[in-house]
């Protein structure tokens, strides 16, 4: 027999030689939660190993992340004040704006990304302005643009709108360009599905909707063609990076996005994915290191250039020592 596939998987040296997919720390993006008005890190119970960080600890985190070779930080803010106008989201001294400056001061070359969404800034916890019980798309756009602008002015390299309002990417791109911030990039949460995998995050960010759910703005998880239309629309509106979220259960969508566009594709291994692995590992049911490296490789194999993961620090340590 001429073809014996086992020949090239006989030992680790041969396997390494012909390995098709690689993961590096620089492919990873580490999401962090920053809470205003506290001085100590606060453990997030549903996400063991993750914390709501005070601003005064960010330089330490940024240096650690940079030292590990991780590609970027993605900042989520928990403001001390919520109101119906989400006014603290565009405050030049808001929690995220302060966090950006703190990280840039400690690590000027570390890429800083910020989440642009109002759900943590308004008491009702929805991702847009309310009009009765409805989420008002067009009333939300100027708010998102204003928030993105203030992040860019504070020094963010990439703003990442996640509220799933139509035309959010275009509104932000136009605002940035008009205000002379042409170099600030936009990472679009394009294929963001309405998902139970976000459960632990909503505890972490204190952003659960107080009534209803997010199904009128996030995608129906049964609809890959609908998600494709939004990917195409975000490309038109000027996105620099496209995102698929959640990750593991949506690798088919990652593959479709890869085939659709030459833009960088990011996949978000969301809070529920992290918590499931942690819970099983705590019980000794799964080998955490092996599972994480296998799943990160799966994201890359499906076509993701970038992976947003709460495991970024641990994974980078493992990758750097392998």
Query: Which chain residues interact with ligand PBG by CB under 6 A?
Result: 115, 117, 119, 127, 162-163, 198, 201-202, 214, 270-271
Least distance CB 159 / ligand PBG (angstroms): 13
Our CB check for ligand PBG shows the closer of 3 and 210 to be 210
Between 202 and 289, name the residue whose CB sits nearer to ligand PBG: 202
Q: Which of 192, 278, 289, 290 is catalytic?
A: 192
> Closest residue (Cβ) to ligand PBG?
201
Q: Which lies closer to ligand PBG via its Cβ, residue 56 or residue 126? A: 126
To the nearest whole angstrom, how small is the minimum distance from the Cβ of residue 256 to ligand PBG? 21
Of 42 and 59, the one with the shorter C-beta distance to ligand PBG is 42
- Helices 312-320 & 288-302, crossing angle to 10 degrees? 90
> Is 245 noted as a catalytic residue in this protein?
yes
In whole angstroms, how close is the CB of 200 to ligand PBG at the nearest point?
7
Least distance to ligand PBG, CB of residue 46, Å:
10
Q: Which candidate in 63, 82, 105, 245 is catalytic?
A: 245
Q: Is 63 considered catalytic here? A: no
* Residues known to be catalytic: 192, 245
């Amino acid at each position: 027999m001429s073809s014996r596939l086992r020949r090239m998987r006989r030992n680790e040296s041969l396997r390494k030689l012909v390995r098709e997919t690689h993961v590096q720390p620089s492919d990873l993006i580490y999401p962090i939660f920053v809470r205003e008005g506290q001085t100590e890190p606060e453990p997030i119970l549903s996400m063991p190993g993750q914390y709501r960080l005070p601003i005064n600890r960010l330089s330490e985190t940024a240096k650690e992340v940079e030292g590990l070779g991780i590609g970027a930080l993605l900042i989520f803010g928990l403001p001390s004040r919520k109101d119906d106008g989400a006014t603290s989201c565009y405050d030049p001294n808001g929690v995220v704006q302060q966090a950006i400056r703190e990280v840039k001061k400690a690590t000027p070359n570390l890429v800083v990304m910020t989440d642009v969404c109002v759900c943590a800034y308004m008491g009702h916890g929805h991702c847009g302005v309310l009009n009765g019980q409805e989420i008002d798309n067009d009333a939300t756009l100027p708010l998102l643009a204003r928030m993105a602008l203030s992040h860019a002015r504070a020094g963010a390299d990439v703003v990442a709108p996640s509220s799933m309002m139509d035309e959010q990417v275009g509104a932000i791109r136009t605002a940035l360009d008009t205000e002379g911030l042409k170099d600030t990039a936009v990472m679009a949460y394009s294929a963001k599905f309405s998902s139970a995998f976000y459960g632990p995050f909503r505890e972490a960010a204190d952003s659960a909707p107080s009534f209803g759910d997010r199904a009128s703005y996030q995608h129906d998880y049964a609809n890959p063609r609908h998600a494709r239309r939004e990917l195409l629309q975000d490309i038109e509106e000027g996105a620099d990076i496209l995102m698929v979220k959640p990750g593991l259960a949506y690798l088919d969508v990652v593959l479709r996005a890869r085939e659709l566009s030459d833009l960088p594709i990011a996949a978000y291994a969301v809070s529920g994915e992290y918590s499931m692995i942690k819970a099983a590992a705590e019980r000794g049911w799964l080998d955490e290191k092996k599972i994480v490296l296998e799943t990160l490789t799966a994201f890359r194999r499906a076509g993701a250039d970038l992976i947003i993961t709460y495991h970024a620090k641990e994974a980078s340590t493992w990758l750097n020592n392998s």
